[in-house]
Amino acid sequence: MQGNGFKIFLAVFFFALSGYYLYPTAQNYFIKKEVSGLSGEELATYQKENFAKIRNVEEKALKLGLDLLGGMHVTLEVRVEALIRELATDTDDAFNEILAAATAEVENSDESIIDLFVAEFTRRDPNARLSRYFRNETAGITRRSSNEDVAAFLRTEANEAVTRAISIIRDRVDRYGVTEPSIQQQGSRRVIVELPGIDDPDRIRGLLRGTARLEFRLMVDPADNVRTLQRVIEFYETGVASSTTGVDSLATAETDSSAVASADTTLDINDLLNDDSNNSGNALLDVMQPLGQGVTFGRVAEQDTAQVNALMKDPAVVALFPRGVKYMYTSSAVGTTAEGNEVYDLLGVRDEIELTGDVITDARVDFDQFTNIPEVTMTMNSEGSRTWARLTGANVGSNVAIVLDGVVYSYPNVLQRITGGRSNITNLANQAEAQDIVTVLKSGALPAPVEIVQESTVGPSLGAASIRAGLYSVIIGLMIVALFMIFYYRTSGIIADLALILNLIFIVGILAGFNATLTLPGIAGIVLTIGMAVDANVLIFERVREEQSTGKTLKAAMEGGYSKALSAIFDSNITTFFVGVILYSFGIGPIQGFAVTLMAGILSSMFTAIVFTRIIMDYVVVDKKKSVNFG
Amino acid sequence: MRIFENSNYGFIASRKKGYIFSGILLFISLISFAINGLELGIDFKGGREFVIETTNVLDATAVRSALSSLMASNPEVKTYRVDGVDQLLIRTVGEEDIDVVRDQLTRGIESAFPGSNPVIEKTYVVSARFAKDLERGAIYSILGSLLVIFVYILIRFEWRFGVGAVGALFHDVIITLGLFSLLQGKLGFSLQIDQTIIAAFLAIVGYSLNDTVVVFDRIREYTGLFKSEAYDSILNRSINNTLSRTIITSGTTLLVVFVLFIFGGEVLRGFAFAILFGISIGTYSSIFVATPIVLELKNRATKR
């Protein structure tokens, strides 16, 4: 056994290291087992008493991928083109065309949208200066700034936007309360969010995407509103006579807008929205019930909103709108049609944003004292309070729209000047919605919109089934290979099997030690490794047999076998290891898990085959002077 | 027990048969690509995939017709049973909001099949843009692997071996892809090309190479040892002397992959299938493609 001291040290060291890294995983397992037998109350006390321990163990235990554990894996992309548009001022058609071209091109390119945008801009007019769109004194972009300066400015802004988006998303996720979330940047403009054990993906999706643009806007002048409605209806009038039900009702609306009873409204909805036979011949009136009372333009059923949007987008129609006014829907339904489809009001709001969510310092969920309906109460900073007081003071008797992410939540009539900077968001569906709005308001608005480009959500029962399937495969695979090795290589096969088991411990130890995640493809990788791990031993044993057949003693044959097989083992494994590295760098999520187990398997199988089995062989043959049968 | 001990097959002598066999397989694969193409999974195409658990078994066609009246596009529906639970696999394309689609699915199934209690167990969504990035990543990773392998073999052996190894790998990947193209939709499980299948291809590349390198290593050793022997006989001897190792390692790996194919669940079935076939073809190619390429290159050099 002389000269094996270092090898033994290494083997023991790695074994101990694996044990050290796997200990929390074992602890975690036993804690989970203990906890599962406890009642609700006992559980709470247990968790309280052992909080630090549980937390520590969970952090260090081998992590299971979301495909096994259940949960949500989302890749978000920060829309840099929207950011560019937002940073630009005095945009014109040329700007829009260039940005659209760059946005289309980025899909087939590795280059960033900013580079493509700048390249496209210079391609169209080499002498033009980008600075005319991006003048910004604080960032030092003046009329004389070069295109490179502007590009650098955009790049900085984009990077900042991604960094801020990450911290905002992290904040939102923390407020929602997910255990062990993982939020990482991927590449230059993507963010990977991993949330284990999510049972309400719809809510999370809203929370991640919500830009939380809160805006306070003044609204359309009622008289202008009615006039516009009349003109738009006339625009879409295909019949000869200009007198339709819509215009008739407008006449009443104009004379006495407050007197339009809600009973009449319901009747109108049924007339205009549900009765398909009642084809008025007016494209707009087919899909919208005209109201023209106060700031309300019309009433639209949920399924017709897309059509109405298309009609309202026509440039000739937009030209009919009062100056500086656009139309937005209410956030919640104002009623239902006879068929049960929800209807929304289309409201006229001013383009100009009087106040934004930036001034909000605090927000909380409240309940209306009469109806007990949840609402969000917001507090503004001193600057916001001042503007709010001035705004409300100057508009007593008019409506102010509270707009969140492009829809009007409420448009209260201002009764008096509001000091102290308080406001409410009402008309919320439920407490969860109120809570989510508070969350996004408190985390702040995202600097640029984000889009979910990839999502994978796995329920816990499917994950559990995958774990079972993976575990069966590992156990059955291990048994078959182990039996085969003993059958084919006899005593040395047993030694190879010991190495195989040690190998498994090492792989899982490496995963735990490097804080890697075990996924379903990762388990597949372990199963594959079981099949391949014996390869190094097979190479050695076959070599030993060859040496033996030339008449060498067992000791000499072993010596020759191990040393001659070395180069083949090394070359064949190192190339596979490279493949693992490449797979890791290009794959996502579960596939990376496969790459990691593949690499871990290669390293540990080389070690166990070359070092560990050699120690055992030497011990048996040299120290114990016993024979090892190579079959 | 010993198999292939002192085997002395004329692998090199009968390499022409191997060329014909490989040629036919490659030809069929390319024809199949041209006719059937490859069925890309949503990883590379973009789209949505849902796994829905139901309390009773539903008919796939009935589910499909119930859903297609509700949804913008015709969904693809498959049913299977895992661990005693009935599951529906639904694939759709489209740009609608995912919350809306999920709602349509559960409501649509529940109203068409009352009491089926549909629960969405898995949602997988890939946007078209992200799919393009994944596709690029997959192509880069396969080409990158082949390049790295070529360079490594170049450094450790000589260039002919690099060409032989990479040629054999191309051979394996094309024929396995050809099989996927030929059999898609004809087996009871999905053969769509997705990320997992790309991982399987890289595993095939790794393992096929493993066999090749072991033979090459022996050639390298024997070239130094038997200087007077003809090159083709050295190659043949190398293949024969490593044959039992090649067969045993491939055998144990095939065994475990077969276990994975049977017990690994629906998600891993296509993966296991690819590797089962790929390892078999990889073992064949290290003997009948990689080594003969080395010989042909050497022969051309000496003729000149």
Chain A with chain B: Cβ pairs closer than 8 A: 230
**Residues B201, A593: Cα–Cα separation, whole Å:** 16
3-state class (DSSP) for residue A626: coil
Q: Do A579 and B195 lie within an 8 Å CB cutoff?
A: no
Please answer yes or no on whether A458 and B141 come within 8 Å at the CB atom: no
Torsion angle in degrees (nearest 10) through CA of A125, A128, A133, A137: 150
**Which distant-in-sequence residues (6+ apart) come within 8 Å of B299 by Cβ?**
none
Neighbours of A483 (CB within 10 A): 12
Q: What does the alpha-carbon distance between residue A543 and residue A338 come to, in Å, rounded to a whole number? A: 84
pLDDT score recorded for residue A238: 63
Q: Do B285 and B214 contact (CB within 8 A), yes or no?
A: no
The count of other CB atoms within 10 Å of the CB of residue B82 is 19
Is the ipTM, as predicted for this complex, more than 0.85? yes
Phi and psi angles of residue B36, each rounded to the nearest 5 degrees, phi first: -90, -25
Mean pLDDT across chain B, nearest whole number? Answer: 89
Q: Do B257 and A488 touch (CB under 8 A)?
A: no
C-alpha A484/C-alpha B259 separation (Å) is: 14
Closest CA in chain A for residue B210: A572
Fold match flag (A5-52+459-623 vs A215-445): no
Among the listed residues A528, A530, A568, A560, the one whose alpha carbon sits nearest the alpha carbon of residue A544: A560
Closest CA to B180 of B3, B22, B14, B28: B28
Which residue from A542, A579, A598 is facing B245, i.e. has the nearest CB? A542
The span from the CA of B104 to the CA of A219, in Å, is 36
Question: Do residues A341 and A316 lie in contact, with contact meaning Cβ atoms separated by under 8 Å?
Answer: no
| Nearest CA distance, B72 vs chain A (angstrom) | 13
Task: Report the distance separating Cα A105 and Cα A81, nearest Å.
Answer: 12
Q: Rounded CA gap, A347 and A408, in Å? A: 8
Region of A74 (left: φ > 0; alpha: ψ -120 to 50; beta: rest) is: beta
| Token pair of A339 as six digits | 């068929």
Phi, psi (deg, nearest 5) at residue A424: -130, 150
Closest to B283 measured CA to CA, from B259, B251, B258, B257: B251
pLDDT at res. A31: 83
The CA distance from A535 to the nearest CA of chain B, in Å, is 5
A351 contacts: CB under 8 Å, gap ≥ 6: A217, A324, A325, A326
State whether A205 and B98 contact (CB < 8 Å): yes
Which of A457, A480, A539 is the mutation pick for testing B, counting most B CBs within 10 A? A457
For the beta sheet containing B76-82, the strands, ordered from the edge strand earlier in sequence to the opposite edge, are: A182-186, A190-196, A71-78, A450-458, B119-126, B47-54, B85-92, B76-82
Asked whether the beta carbons of residue A539 and residue B214 sit closer than 8 angstroms, the reply is yes
Least confident of B59-63, B218-222, B291-295: B59-63
Mean pLDDT over B91-104 rounds to 81
Measured between alpha carbons, how far is A565 from B241 in angstroms, rounded to an integer?
13
Rounded-to-integer distance, Cα A482 and Cα A206, Å: 51
Using the predicted structure, report yes or no on whether residue B45 has a pLDDT greater than 60. Answer: yes
The nearest alpha carbon in chain A to B207 belongs to: A576
Whether B255 sits inside 8 A of A531 (CB atoms) is yes
Query: Do the Cβ atoms of A531 and B254 come closer than 8 Å?
Result: yes
Domains, chain B, ranges and CATH? 15-41+130-303 (1.20.1640.10), 47-126 (3.30.70.3400)
> What integer pLDDT is reported at residue A253 of this predicted model?
36
State which H helix or E strand residue A355 sits in. strand A342-356
Name the CA dihedral angle for A605, A607, A611, A615, rounded to a multiple of 10 degrees: -60
What residues of B are in contact with residue A591 (Cβ under 8 Å)?
Answer: 195-196, 198-199
Q: Are B77 and B54 a contacting pair, CB within 8 Å?
A: no
Query: Are the C-beta atoms of B120 and B105 separated by less than 8 Å?
Result: yes
Determine, for residues B264 and A631 on separate chains, whether the beta-carbon distance falls below 8 Å.
no
Nearest CA-CA partner of A219 in A315, A354, A22, A114: A354
CB A454 within 8 A of CB A186: no
CA distance A115 to A155: 9
Domain ranges of chain A: 5-52+459-623, 78-183+452-457, 215-445
Residue A374: strand pairing partners: A367
Name residues of chain A where pLDDT drops below 70.
1-3, 211-212, 238-280, 589
Q: Are A425 and A410 contacting, i.e. CB atoms less than 8 angstroms apart?
A: yes
Q: Does A538 touch chain B (CB under 8 A)?
A: yes
Which candidate in A473, A487, A488, A530 is best for mutational testing of the B interface (most B CBs within 10 A)? A473
pLDDT tens profile A342-398? 888 999 999 888 888 888 888 888 888 888 888 888 888 888 899 889 988 888 888
Check B213 against A575: CB less than 8 A apart.
yes
Q: For residue A220, how many C-alpha atoms fall within 13 Å in the half-sphere facing its CB?
A: 26
Residue B165, pLDDT score: 93
Contact A575 B245 (CB under 8 A): no
Å from B202 to nearest chain A CA? 7
- Minimal C-alpha gap between A139 and chain B (Å): 32
CATH architecture observed for domain A5-52+459-623: Up-down Bundle (1.20)
Tokens of A45: 């006390």
* Chain A environment of B51 (Cβ under 8 Å): 462
Contact of B140 with A586, CB cutoff 8 Å: yes
CB burial of B52-71 (b: ≥16 within 10 Å; e: otherwise) equals: bbbeeebebeebbebbeeeb
Q: Please give the Cα distance from B241 to A257 (Å, whole number).
A: 98
Among the listed residues B58, B127, B48, the one whose alpha carbon sits nearest the alpha carbon of residue B91: B48
Cα separation of A77 and A185, whole Å? Answer: 10
- Torsion, Cα A32 A36 A37 A43, to 10 degrees, reads 90
Q: Chain A window 91-130: which residues touch B at a Cβ cutoff of 8 Å?
A: 107-108, 110
Q: Which chain B residue has its CA at the smallest distance from A477's CA?
A: B256
Which of B83, B243, B256 to probe the A interface (max A CBs under 10 A)?
A: B256
Checking if the pLDDT of B290 tops 80, the result is yes
The shortest C-alpha distance from B304 to chain A (Å) reads 31
CA distance A531 to chain B (A): 4
Percent of chain B residues topping a pLDDT of 70: 99
Residue from A528, A537, A543 whose CB has the most chain B CBs within 10 Å, to mutate? A528
Residues of chain B found within 8 Å of residue A534, distances taken between Cβ atoms: 249, 252
- Residues 446-505 on A with a CB inside 8 Å of B are 451-459, 461-462, 465-466, 468-470, 472-473, 476-477, 480-481, 484-485, 487-488
Domain A215-445: top CATH class: alpha beta
On whether the CB atoms of residues A501 and A572 are closer than 8 A, the answer is: no
d(CA B199, CA A380) in angstroms, rounded, equals 53
